[in-house]
Amino acid sequence: MAGQTLYDKLFDAHLVRTNDDGSSLLYIDRQVLHEVTSPQAFEGLRIAGRKPWRIDANIATPDHNVPTTERSAGVEFIVDPVSKIQVKTLDENCDEFGILEFKMNDHRQGIVHVMAPEQGAILPGVTAVCGDSHTATLGALGALAHGVGTSEVEHVLATQCLITKKMKNMLVRVDGALGVGVTPKDVVLHVIGVIGTAGGTGYAIEFGGDVFRNMSMEGRMTVCNMAIEAGARVGLVAVDQITLDYVEGRAFSPKGEDWNRAVEAWRSLVSDEDAEFDEVIVINGADIEPQVTWGTSPEMVVSVSDQVPNPANETDPVKVDGINRALKYMGLKADQKITDIKLDRVFIGSCTNSRIEDLRDAAKVVKGRKVADNIIQALVVPGSGLVKTQAENEGLDKIFIEAGLEWREPGCSMCLAMNPDKLGNGEHCASTSNRNFEGRQGFGGRTHLVSPAMAAAAAVTGHFIDVRELLQANG
């Protein structure tokens, strides 16, 4: 019999029962809640007279709607009345049910997918859900994490289980090493370009190979975060010493004898050598260059040295139509050089790229330089209060501010523009977020997805440039 994949192991270890029709009831160890997808779930519990199955499995924080400007006056002073209601509703629901919440001005507040691993609330080997598709991020720890809808949030609150079907297994193996100036974000954008936005639908993707083995936890989180942009609900990286070093000593990590027991259990959280994957994609790490999306889907991505595609080179009519629509929306011309695209705003943040390493990467590029004149705004939004403090202790905030970037309070911010941070109609943004959909960052806004280093390079030059040129100039 063939060995098991990491996904198979995690799935089997949490299986409560298999129903007659093949669907499974999977036990969920952790649920992370935020203000946008939870209110209707709590309301549903109340209407049905149900109570949460296990209070201590849940952790909450507001992130999507919170302002990122000075906000010490508290929730009552959120200007947008509808945002205020959502954040207050989360506070009230957590207070009523006794769920641990890091409220807006708690220093542990942050974007759910940054906060949860940082606290040790998500550990290797756990199953987790969150009402957000980027929950795949947490798979970087060797955890089985599913993004779910509000009905499923309610279902997990009420039953501690998720009804699911076993997915197929895909291995994305990136061999060798990355070049200087090439980051985890470039890797995952490149992968999405190769397999397409629906290429991972129905699969759990495990990221393997030397590139991921040598990647930091922050980088692994960036990669797993965008599994969903390749259509996969689940992204995973096997547990190794890097994982254990990251987890040790965090607030909710096991301590003492429990730690030793946990480590012993976690060491098996790797795919067996003879495990069979339904699909294997192999990429050479050295072939990956800094990436830039030019269109309105994350698969519309090229290297910074490339050009905007020409629909004349495409035969599939649905694709031609897609390229033409994207060119029109983005205000770009076929065959235009990527480095000729001028930017209006820069956004460094989001659950994809707001961790300490991301901020260090960006700071290294802007240090001693100034934001270009044509850039209306360049935002740096740390992923959590703890990331913000650490960055400030390292002096990164000063580097950003001196260069002319704005240093903000943690939250989702301009990634989806539910708070006041958004693009104007027709503006181009170099963004470290995860989606370049039409209108995502503001009505008529034009998003280009890039790494933090590439966003920083765009900020100081005003257009896209291969960040390696600036890094070389740094010496």
Cα of first residue to Cα of last residue in the chain, in angstroms, is 54
Q: In the set 8, 29, 357, 466, which binds other proteins (CB under 8 A)? A: 29
**Could you give the CA distance from residue 104 to residue 188 in angstroms, rounded to a whole number?**
31
Strands 15-18 and 24-27, by their bridges, are antiparallel
Q: Which of 105, 108, 158, 360 binds other proteins (CB under 8 A)?
A: 158
Which tokens hold the place of 158? 């009420």
What type of residue is 177?
Answer: A
Measured from the CB atom, the residue of 147 and 209 that comes closer to other proteins is 147
Tokens of 219: 């980088």
Nearest alpha-carbon partner for 101 in 164, 154, 163, 38: 38
Residue 310 or 425 having the CB closest to other proteins: 425
Q: Which is nearer to other proteins, 37 or 109 (CB)?
A: 37
Binding map of other proteins across residues 162-181, x = CB under 8 A, - = no contact: -x-x----------------
| Binding segment toward other proteins, per CB under 8 A, in 107-115, 132-140, 330-338, 377-385 | 132-140
Which residue from 95, 278, 321, 392 is in contact with other proteins, where contact means CB under 8 A? 321
- As a whole number of angstroms, the distance between CA 117 and CA 384 comes to 11
Choices 13-21, 186-194, 275-283, 376-384 (CB under 8 A): range interacting with other proteins: 13-21
Residue with tokens 């990251």: 246
Helix axes 396-403, 356-366, angle to 10 degrees: 40
Q: Are 436 and 148 in contact (CB under 8 A)?
A: no
Q: Does 189 bind other proteins (CB under 8 A)?
A: no
Output b/e per residue, 286-322; b: 16+ Cβ within 10 A: eebbbbbbbbbbbbbbbbbeebbbeeeeeeeeeeeeb
- In the complex, the smallest distance separating the C-beta of residue 310 from other proteins, rounded to whole angstroms, is 19
DSSP structural state of residue 65? S
Site mask for other proteins (CB under 8 A), range 429-458, x = bound: ------x-xxxx--xx--------------
**Are the C-beta atoms of residues 379 and 405 closer than 8 Å to each other?**
yes
* Residues in 340-359 that interact with other proteins by CB under 8 A: none
Calpha distance 156→81 (Å, rounded): 29
Q: For residue 123, state whether it binds other proteins (rule: CB under 8 A).
A: yes
- Greatest Cα-to-Cα distance within the chain, rounded to the nearest angstrom: 65
3-class secondary-structure state, position 134: helix
Q: Which is nearer to other proteins, 1 or 82 (CB)?
A: 82
Q: Which is nearer to other proteins, 20 or 274 (CB)?
A: 20
Residues 34-93 that bind other proteins (CB under 8 A): 36-37, 39-40, 43, 48, 50, 53-59, 64-65, 80, 82-83, 85-86, 89
Of the pair 21, 373, the CB lying nearest other proteins is at 21
Give the Cα separation of 164 and 33 in Å (integer): 20
The one-letter amino acid at 395: G
User: Which parts of 270-309 interact with other proteins (CB under 8 A)?
Assistant: 297
Structure tokens, 170: 């895909």
* Residue 161 touching other proteins (CB under 8 A): yes
Rounded to whole angstroms, how far apart are CA atoms 10 and 144?
6
**Shortest approach of other proteins to residue 197 CB, angstroms?**
6
Task: Quote the least distance from Cβ 39 to other proteins, whole Å.
Answer: 4
Contact with other proteins (CB under 8 A): which of 1, 180, 318, 473?
Answer: 318
**Strand 406-407's sheet: what is its strand order?**
406-407, 377-380, 345-348, 428-431, 446-449
C-beta of residue 178 within 8 angstroms of C-beta of residue 275? no
Please report whether residue 416 would count as binding other proteins according to CB under 8 A: yes
Among 227, 418, 460, 467, binds other proteins (CB under 8 A): 418
Q: Which stretch binds other proteins (CB under 8 A): 247-255, 279-287, 332-340, 372-380?
A: 247-255
Between 138 and 417, whose beta carbon lies closer to other proteins? 417
Q: What x/- string results for residues 254 through 273 when contact with other proteins is judged by CB under 8 A?
A: x---x---x--x--------
The count of residues interacting with other proteins (CB under 8 A) is: 86
State which of positions 196-235 bind other proteins (CB under 8 A). Answer: 197-198, 201-202, 228, 231, 233
Residue placing its CB nearer to other proteins in the complex, 379 or 405: 379
133 binds other proteins (CB under 8 A): yes
Residue 272: phi, psi to the nearest 5?
A: -65, 150
Per CB under 8 A, the segment of 183-191, 208-216, 246-254, 345-353 that binds other proteins is 246-254
107 lies in the site for other proteins, by CB under 8 A: no
The answer to whether residue 424 forms part of the interface with other proteins (CB under 8 A) is no
Query: Rounded to the nearest 5°, which phi and psi values hold at 110?
Result: 180, -175
**Closest CB to other proteins among residues 262, 362:** 262
In the three-class reduction of DSSP (H, G, I as helix; E, B as strand; rest coil), residue 41 is classed as helix
The least CB distance from residue 269 to other proteins, in Å, is 12
Which of 411, 432, 435, 434 has its CA nearest to residue 421? 411
Q: Minimum distance between the CB of residue 95 and other proteins, rounded to whole angstroms?
A: 14
